[in-house]
């Protein structure tokens, strides 16, 4: 009976530890998603603010050319 109680307590501790880790991972995922979205928005803003105007008489130049 002592062994059963000891195992039950160990399972409860493991469950609580795993629940805490799951919470931490969700918070971490939210942080990285937010950072990704901010970086993506900054890249889009940079791209659109640094596009040179295209003249009708100029051929379009691509980055690989």
Any domain includes 60: no
pLDDT score for 48: 76
| Per-residue pLDDT reduced to its tens digit, 2-50 | 999 999 999 999 999 999 999 999 999 999 999 999 998 888 888 777 7
Domain containing 47: what range? 1-53
E-strand stretches of 1-65: none
Q: Which two tokens stand for residue 23?
A: 């919470």
pLDDT score for 50: 73
Any domain includes 64: no
Contacts of 60 (CB under 8 A, 6+ apart): 54
Tell me how many domains the chain contains: 1
Mean pLDDT of the chain: 86
Residue 51 contacts residue 45 (beta carbons within 8 Å): no
pLDDT score for 6: 95
pTM, two decimals, is 0.57
């Amino acid at each position: 009976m002592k062994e059963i109680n000891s195992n039950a307590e160990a399972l409860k501790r493991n469950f609580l530890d795993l629940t805490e880790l799951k919470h931490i991972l969700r918070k971490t995922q939210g942080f990285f998603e937010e950072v990704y979205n901010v970086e993506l928005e900054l890249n889009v803003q940079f791209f659109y603010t640094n596009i040179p105007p295209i003249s009708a008489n100029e051929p379009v130049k691509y980055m690989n050319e």
